[in-house]
């Protein structure tokens, strides 16, 4: 079991799940738990979290550059245009997770996203972020895998036809996009307020 906190080579305390991996340290410090907005950015997170199901996040993180390359930087309009030829090419690409159901779900999810006005997906996703004070987890054991909010988010997305958006997957998305802040007590990021960021690189 991971320690609740781990001290990095720079002397900073971080959430224990980081371990001694340099890329995990960067991700923990620069991305995880920072508020993220934008239809494209949230679609990317949803897609990658879906691919992660059953695997470790570090596997996805290391493959993310290739995912972005072959999935047209997760620009929804471009992914929505993928057809059988692109699906077969993706199934042959060892640089990503070659799961046909997840590949086809990503394309289908992009098409659903385009049915709504620009910015609606961002508003929908963030509508499930908890409001009011929330106790910071004291240990990794206090970090939930699923919450009532992630169950509600999952149900809303499934009701619209989105796939690979289960409650546990959606809670992981809520953590990574800063909808919740699960840095444990004592982590150097726990004391650092994070401004909302956009990473949409053209939502359409």
> Residue 150 class from Cβ within 10 Å (0-12 exposed, 13-18 middle, 19+ buried)?
buried
Catalytic status, residue 57: yes
Residue 181, marked binder:
no
- Choose, from 17, 32, 44, 49, the residue flagged as catalytic: 49
Cα–Cα dist 39/88, whole Å: 26
**What whole-number distance in Å separates Cα of residue 71 and Cα of residue 95?**
12
Q: Is 31 a catalytic residue?
A: no
Catalytic pick from 27, 86, 104, 118? 27
The response to whether 183 counts as a known ligand-binding position is: yes
Alpha helices in 31-147 (DSSP H): 39-52, 57-70, 76-80, 84-91, 100-114, 120-126
| 91 labeled binding residue | no
49 is catalytic: yes
Contact residues for 183 (Cβ-Cβ < 8 A; gap 6+): 15, 32, 33, 136, 189, 190
Rounded (10°) CA dihedral 125, 54, 33, 174: 20
Question: Which of 31, 57, 86, 104 is an active site residue?
Answer: 57
6 strand-pairing partners = 14
The answer to whether 37 is a known ligand-binding residue is: no
So which residues are the catalytic ones? 27, 49, 57
| Binding-site residue positions | 15, 28, 183, 187
| Binding-site residue positions for Zn(2+) | 15, 28, 183, 187
């Amino acid at each position: 079991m991971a320690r609740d906190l781990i001290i990095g080579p720079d002397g900073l305390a971080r959430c224990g799940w980081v371990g001694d991996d340099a890329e995990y340290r960067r991700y923990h410090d620069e991305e995880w738990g920072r508020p993220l907005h934008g239809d494209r950015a949230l679609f990317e997170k949803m897609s990658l979290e879906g691919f992660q199901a059953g695997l470790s996040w570090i596997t996805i993180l290391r493959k993310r550059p290739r995912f972005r390359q072959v999935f047209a930087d997760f620009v929804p309009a471009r992914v929505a245009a993928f057809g059988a030829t692109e699906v077969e090419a993706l199934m042959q690409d060892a640089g990503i997770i070659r799961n046909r159901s997840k590949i086809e779900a990503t394309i289908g999810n992009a098409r659903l996203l385009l049915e709504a006005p620009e910015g609606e997906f961002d508003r929908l996703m963030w509508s499930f972020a908890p409001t009011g004070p929330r106790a910071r987890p004291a240990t990794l054991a206090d970090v939930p895998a699923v919450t009532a909010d992630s169950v509600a988010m999952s149900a809303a997305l499934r009701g619209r036809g989105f796939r690979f958006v289960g409650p546990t997957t959606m809670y992981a998305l809520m953590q990574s996009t800063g909808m919740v802040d699960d840095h444990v007590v004592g982590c150097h990021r726990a004391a650092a307020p994070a401004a909302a960021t956009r990473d949409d690189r053209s939502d359409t």
